[in-house]
A and B are shown apart, each in its own frame.
Chain A
Amino acid sequence: MSQPVINRLSETEQQYTVKDFKSDLKPVWCSGCGDFGILTALVQSFAKLGIPRDEIATITGIGCSSRLPGYLSTYGFNSLHGRAVPIAGGVKLANPNTMVIASGGDGDGFSIGAGHLPHAVRRNIDITYIVMDNFVYGLTKGQASPTTPLDDKTASTTYGSIEPPLNMCGFVHAYNCGFIARTHSGDIKQMVSVFMEGLQYPGFAFIQVFSPCVTFRGNGEYAAVKQMVGQLPEDYDNSNREAAWKIIESKDPYYTGVIYRNDNLPSFHDRINGMREKAKAKGTKSVDELFAIFRP
């Protein structure tokens, strides 16, 4: 069973509202874009968690969803296509006290960015990676992405896509990700619950969010997503790695909720601290004193 969600509100004197986390900038997203819902759920989660906005950094790649930092009043970096994860990793490792969120789309994360995921995941860097999956490249106007269904016609697949889509949750599960969740932009309540749990998970938390693109995939997309998702079985134990495979691979329904959670994984920072202790075991000279190693 998943851990109870810890509400930091009781620990802090400050009470935050969503207004504290939203910027004044009007999003460039189309009317009806699923990303609006995700933004709403994210700022609600921040408010509930009670973390000051100056201690949060949102790192994104390039794409529609990667414009996210501009709409938040946290620290943000709208960086390079496919590179949110390593940059977010650097932000976190340099200052572990910052809450770091990486975000971007399906192409950003699983096409050009795919090479970075196995390593951020296996290192178990304590960031939360939210992928806004709309099954298409929106910003560049409608090309097929790694999650576009087979046979779908897009700007770059006139005769229908001939590349079977990949399974994001399966991908990260293969690399031993300690927190895997799936949700969709139509369910604010579930998003807030999943985001809050992921943000507090002390390791790499992966959250796939179906986020309809009405502009390039039509107005029927919301209904389509609603149809394809379903709640986890009542008796499902999300700490069971093998059982998680079946849930992850299911297409009818695409299960939503916290699909897998491993509370026994040391975070990268735990391991770094362990390594530092080893390095210092025989005593440490000052940097100036270390210079003596170069004189025969």
Chain B
Amino acid sequence: MVTTTVASEKLNTENWPLRSTNQITIGVIGAGGDGVIASGEILAHAAAREGLYTIMTKSYGPVIRGGESSVRIRMGDTRVHSQGDKLDVLICFSWKDFPRFEEEMFIKRHAVVLYDVTDDIAPEELPIDHSLEPVIFQVPFKDLAKEEAGSPLYKNIVMLGMLAEMFDLPQEGLEAAIKYRFSGKGTAVIEENLKALFIGDKWVKENLDTKFPFEFFYTTAPPKLLMTGNEALSYGALHAGCRFMAGYPITPASEIMEWLSKHMPKYDGTVVQAEDEMAAIGYAIGASFSGVPSMTASSGPGISLMQEMLGVAGMAEIPVVVVNVQRVGPSTGIPTKSEQADLMQAIYGSHGDNTRVVLGPCDCEDCYDMIHYAFSIAEAYQVPVIVLSDQFIGQRKSSFDNLDLNRVHVEKRKVPTDDELEDYKRYKITNSGISPMTYPGIKRGQYQASGLGHNDTGQPVSTASWNKIINDKKSCKLDHIVQKYPLTRYFGPQHSRVGILGWGSTKGVISEAVHLCGRAGIDVSGMVLRMLYPLPIEHLKRWFASLDTLIIPELSYGGQFMRHLRSYITLPPKVVHYARGGGVLIPLEDILNITLEFCDENISRDMIQIIDPEEIFDLRKKVDVDIYIQGEQKF
């Protein structure tokens, strides 16, 4: 026996749908066993399969396995820049678990909320913001799953079937995703899941004769790539020529070691799970000393342990790539959430005035390019390179268009010529700062590496004059590097008075804000730095020259990025520093509110509380609300 209630019967649905959108954001929360994560994975796969852009994130409760969890997925046929501040659709299988994920599950005005008809909580009692007039449906997930699909375990798939029919989600994509997900479990299981999908679909057709407040309207395209940032980074490292990786398990970086341990042996590479992080980077530095491009990967606490080794790599000029998938700190912090507060550690974490390069990928596909840059810089310039990813980039699934696998050329180490081996000086002073580097096996190339102050042969010396010569040598390498690889990304018009500057995953909300403002006729530009140290001063100076206001959003309670910038360059007259600690991502709404406040004097303050970023168009009354968007991305 199945029943339903439409809690929002009192709403006037005559004008529905109120808006047409080509991007939809869905959130699902449930207890252990509800199949929440599976539903997110299936939706992401389906979206990518149908050529949609998507960003999907997962959140877990504290239990090691099988506890409460949530997923968020935003998909559409134009580029999905960021996670989406608020949900169009919320599905909750377990309201007692809702509070844990509440901060990430804010709903939009007239969002659709689905929950089970047998749950003992009335629609008006739900812990959501009722002033937003949510459209609540109580639907029979569990009963349908049990009675028609054969098991209560199928309720997540029944739910997907309902969503597919309600919002016209890609049906073929969902079927393909289900086949993919359960491919290892035999045809019977696949068939049952497909049946559950169909049951949900059919039930909505026959029982939910109502309009919905919004319409999801999109065009399909050929399948897109679907990867996490950690996968892009791992595969990228392999492609870039890395053949040695040593690591140690740590959330959220373990996947890199796991992926490489599976694939690297196929290409005669070596992965070692070391006994601790110091050994991990130690093995990598040893392998690099032997001539092999090597890397390690960790997160904040592990990178702290690696600082001494980073020092010796910098001093002895041994290439090594160190990936930090940042999580919330300090100390043990929040291992499963994202932050951007390891910047200072990356630049200055080792004692002394050490030499290193710090890069910051800004999204999943950028992880692929950036790891190529990392190896190119490390190998060519013989420096340690730290790649600052973060949990949001590293663990979210993103779909995107093709990757040009060979876009970034990876330079190799300079090995001495026959003449140079005549009287080989490992640290020969050159104009570029780069000294040809030998490794065991090369005849006449023997030298002693060490962390001690040394002369151009590598012999330990303790004079101030040699100390300066070697410091100059290492420092000039950095000058050459930043000149060759400024790696900035710029969004928006050529000239604007207001600019937004960020790095890493905040690029998502920055680019989206610039994009939306542009469409609304508001001039604001954005820049994302991917070369974080040394800073591309000239690029920044040129841009700052035209700005009177600079907005700096960052996920760092201590405001590390702004302070880093300020220590090297004069900032524009007005700086709006939006610094917050990790735990939730920076919402687009906040960036837009700040930007509008400084951009357009005609907008009064009480107009700028945006609930849905698309309401920006109402404010400006320039663009019709019924939008069918064909996107263009100018990066």
For window 281-295 of chain B, which residues contact chain A by CB distance below 8 Å? Answer: 282-292, 294
Contact, CB under 8 Å: B238 / A54 = no
Choose among B282, B286, B290 the residue with the greatest number of A CB atoms under 10 Å from its CB: B286
Q: In the complex, which residue of chain A has the Cβ closest to the Cβ of B282?
A: A86
Q: Would you give the 0/1 interface string for B405-447, flagging 1 where the beta carbon is closer than 8 Å to chain A?
A: 1000000000000000000000000000000001111111111
For window 113-152 of chain A, which residues contact chain B by CB distance below 8 Å? Answer: 115-116, 118-119
Q: In the complex, which residue of chain A has the Cβ closest to the Cβ of B311?
A: A80
Does B180 make an interface contact (CB < 8 A)? yes
- The answer, among A55, A69, A94, A276, for a CB contact under 8 Å with B448, is A69
Question: Roughly how many angstroms separate A287 CA and B290 CA in the complex, as a whole number?
Answer: 23
Q: What residues of chain B lie closer than 8 Å to A288, measured between beta carbons? A: 239, 405
B-side binding surface: helix, strand, loop or mixed? mixed
Contact, CB under 8 Å: B449 / A78 = yes
Question: Roughly how many angstroms separate A74 CA and B448 CA in the complex, as a whole number?
Answer: 8
Q: Would you give the 0/1 interface string for A40-82, flagging 1 where the beta carbon is closer than 8 Å to chain B?
A: 0000000000001111110100000000011001111111100
Shortest CB–CB separation between residue A91 and chain B, in angstroms? 4
Q: List 22 A-B contacts (CB under 8 A).
A: A70-B448, A73-B446, A75-B447, A77-B316, A78-B448, A78-B451, A78-B452, A83-B309, A86-B278, A86-B283, A86-B286, A90-B282, A90-B286, A91-B440, A93-B270, A94-B291, A95-B290, A95-B440, A115-B276, A278-B265, A288-B405, A296-B180
Q: Knowing that A95-B290, A276-B268 touch, tell me 17 more A-B residue pairs with CB under 8 angstroms.
A: A54-B443, A56-B440, A78-B449, A78-B450, A79-B285, A86-B274, A86-B283, A89-B282, A90-B283, A94-B243, A95-B439, A95-B440, A98-B440, A119-B275, A288-B239, A290-B235, A290-B263
Shortest CB–CB separation between residue A199 and chain B, in angstroms? 15
Question: Roughly how many angstroms separate A98 CA and B176 CA in the complex, as a whole number?
Answer: 51
Shortest CB–CB separation between residue B445 and chain A, in angstroms? 6
Q: In the complex, which residue of chain B has the Cβ closest to the Cβ of A93?
A: B270
Q: In the complex, which residue of chain B has the Cβ closest to the Cβ of A276?
A: B265
Shortest CB–CB separation between residue A259 and chain B, in angstroms? 25
Contact, CB under 8 Å: B287 / A296 = no
**Interface size, B (range):** 35 or more
For window 210-236 of chain B, which residues contact chain A by CB distance below 8 Å? Answer: 223-227, 231, 235
Contact, CB under 8 Å: B235 / A294 = yes
Q: What residues of chain B lie closer than 8 Å to A74, measured between beta carbons? A: 446
Does A295 make an interface contact (CB < 8 A)? yes
Question: Roughly how many angstroms separate A88 CA and B445 CA in the complex, as a whole number?
Answer: 18
Contact, CB under 8 Å: B446 / A54 = yes
Contact, CB under 8 Å: A90 / B446 = no
- The answer, among A75, A118, A287, for a CB contact under 8 Å with B446, is A75
**Interface size, A (range):** 35 or more
Does B87 make an interface contact (CB < 8 A)? no
Does A272 make an interface contact (CB < 8 A)? yes
Contact, CB under 8 Å: B223 / A296 = yes
Shortest CB–CB separation between residue A104 and chain B, in angstroms? 13
Q: In the complex, which residue of chain B has the Cβ closest to the Cβ of A279?
A: B265
For window 220-257 of chain A, which residues contact chain B by CB distance below 8 Å? Answer: none
Q: Which 3 A-B pairs have the closest CB atoms?
A: A90-B286, A86-B282, A94-B290
Does A275 make an interface contact (CB < 8 A)? yes
Shortest CB–CB separation between residue B267 and chain A, in angstroms? 7
Q: In the complex, which residue of chain B has the Cβ closest to the Cβ of A52?
A: B443
Q: Given A90-B294, A94-B287, do A80 and B274 touch, yes or no (CB 8 Å)?
A: no
Question: Roughly how many angstroms separate A94 CA and B6 CA in the complex, as a whole number?
Answer: 65
Contact, CB under 8 Å: B284 / A95 = no
Question: Roughly how many angstroms separate A56 CA and B443 CA in the complex, as a whole number?
Answer: 11
Q: In the complex, which residue of chain B has the Cβ closest to the Cβ of A68?
A: B448
Question: Roughly how many angstroms separate A95 CA and B308 CA in the complex, as a whole number?
Answer: 25
A to B contact number (C-beta, < 8 Å): 182
Question: Roughly how many angstroms separate A118 CA and B276 CA in the complex, as a whole number?
Answer: 12
Q: What residues of chain A lie closer than 8 Å to B286, measured between beta carbons? A: 59, 77, 86-94
Contact, CB under 8 Å: A295 / B223 = yes
Shortest CB–CB separation between residue A10 and chain B, in angstroms? 22
Question: Roughly how many angstroms separate A75 CA and B459 CA in the complex, as a whole number?
Answer: 13
- The answer, among A54, A78, A79, A280, for a CB contact under 8 Å with B440, is A54
Does B460 make an interface contact (CB < 8 A)? yes
Question: Roughly how many angstroms separate A279 CA and B290 CA in the complex, as a whole number?
Answer: 24
Does B531 make an interface contact (CB < 8 A)? no
Q: What residues of chain B lie closer than 8 Å to A290, measured between beta carbons? A: 235, 238, 263
Contact, CB under 8 Å: B312 / A79 = yes
Question: Roughly how many angstroms separate A288 CA and B429 CA in the complex, as a whole number?
Answer: 38
Q: What residues of chain A lie closer than 8 Å to B439, measured between beta carbons? A: 75, 95
Q: What residues of chain B lie closer than 8 Å to A86, measured between beta carbons? A: 274-275, 278-279, 282-283, 286
Contact, CB under 8 Å: A90 / B48 = no
Contact, CB under 8 Å: B441 / A79 = no
Contact, CB under 8 Å: A116 / B279 = yes
- The answer, among A83, A95, A284, A296, for a CB contact under 8 Å with B177, is A296
Q: What residues of chain A lie closer than 8 Å to B262, measured between beta carbons? A: 279
Question: Roughly how many angstroms separate A199 CA and B274 CA in the complex, as a whole number?
Answer: 24
Shortest CB–CB separation between residue B287 and chain A, in angstroms? 4
Question: Roughly how many angstroms separate A289 CA and B235 CA in the complex, as a whole number?
Answer: 11
Q: Would you give the 0/1 interface string for B284-322, flagging 1 where the beta carbon is closer than 8 Å to chain A?
A: 111111111010000000000000110010001000000
Does A159 make an interface contact (CB < 8 A)? no
Contact, CB under 8 Å: A87 / B283 = yes
Q: Would you give the 0/1 interface string for B249-262, flagging 1 where the beta carbon is closer than 8 Å to chain A?
A: 00000000000001
Shortest CB–CB separation between residue B343 and chain A, in angstroms? 25
Does A97 make an interface contact (CB < 8 A)? yes
Question: Roughly how many angstroms separate A123 CA and B79 CA in the complex, as a whole number?
Answer: 48
Choose among A87, A118, A272, A291 the residue with the greatest number of B CB atoms under 10 Å from its CB: A87
Question: Roughly how many angstroms separate A95 CA and B286 CA in the complex, as a whole number?
Answer: 10
Q: What residues of chain B lie closer than 8 Å to A53, measured between beta carbons? A: 446
Choose among B287, B289, B438 the residue with the greatest number of A CB atoms under 10 Å from its CB: B289
Contact, CB under 8 Å: B440 / A57 = yes
Contact, CB under 8 Å: A95 / B292 = yes
Question: Roughly how many angstroms separate A80 CA and B309 CA in the complex, as a whole number?
Answer: 7
Shortest CB–CB separation between residue A167 and chain B, in angstroms? 21
Q: What residues of chain B lie closer than 8 Å to A73, measured between beta carbons? A: 446
Shortest CB–CB separation between residue A27 and chain B, in angstroms? 12
Does B522 make an interface contact (CB < 8 A)? no
Does B266 make an interface contact (CB < 8 A)? yes
Shortest CB–CB separation between residue A263 and chain B, in angstroms? 25
- The answer, among B238, B289, B445, for a CB contact under 8 Å with A87, is B289
Question: Roughly how many angstroms separate A20 CA and B174 CA in the complex, as a whole number?
Answer: 70
Does B477 make an interface contact (CB < 8 A)? no
Contact, CB under 8 Å: B263 / A77 = no
For window 10-26 of chain A, which residues contact chain B by CB distance below 8 Å? Answer: 25
Does B610 make an interface contact (CB < 8 A)? no
Q: In the complex, which residue of chain B has the Cβ closest to the Cβ of A268?
A: B272
Q: Given A87-B283, A280-B266, do A296 and B449 touch, yes or no (CB 8 Å)?
A: no
Q: In the complex, which residue of chain A has the Cβ closest to the Cβ of B284?
A: A90
Question: Roughly how many angstroms separate A73 CA and B278 CA in the complex, as a whole number?
Answer: 28
Contact, CB under 8 Å: A93 / B446 = no
Contact, CB under 8 Å: A294 / B45 = no
Q: What residues of chain A lie closer than 8 Å to B48, measured between beta carbons? A: 295-296
Shortest CB–CB separation between residue A267 and chain B, in angstroms? 13
- The answer, among B270, B291, B448, for a CB contact under 8 Å with A272, is B270
Q: Would you give the 0/1 interface string for A271-286, flagging 1 where the beta carbon is closer than 8 Å to chain B?
A: 0100110111000100
Contact, CB under 8 Å: A76 / B265 = no
Question: Roughly how many angstroms separate A123 CA and B174 CA in the complex, as a whole number?
Answer: 46
Shortest CB–CB separation between residue A163 and chain B, in angstroms? 23
Q: What residues of chain A lie closer than 8 Å to B308, measured between beta carbons? A: 80
Question: Roughly how many angstroms separate A64 CA and B275 CA in the complex, as a whole number?
Answer: 26
Question: Roughly how many angstroms separate A296 CA and B268 CA in the complex, as a whole number?
Answer: 27
Q: What residues of chain B lie closer than 8 Å to A278, measured between beta carbons? A: 265
Question: Roughly how many angstroms separate A86 CA and B292 CA in the complex, as a whole number?
Answer: 16
Does B246 make an interface contact (CB < 8 A)? yes
Q: In the complex, which residue of chain A has the Cβ closest to the Cβ of B239?
A: A287
Does B533 make an interface contact (CB < 8 A)? no
Contact, CB under 8 Å: A79 / B266 = no
Q: In the complex, which residue of chain B has the Cβ closest to the Cβ of A112?
A: B278
Shortest CB–CB separation between residue A143 and chain B, in angstroms? 20
Contact, CB under 8 Å: B282 / A87 = yes
Does B244 make an interface contact (CB < 8 A)? yes
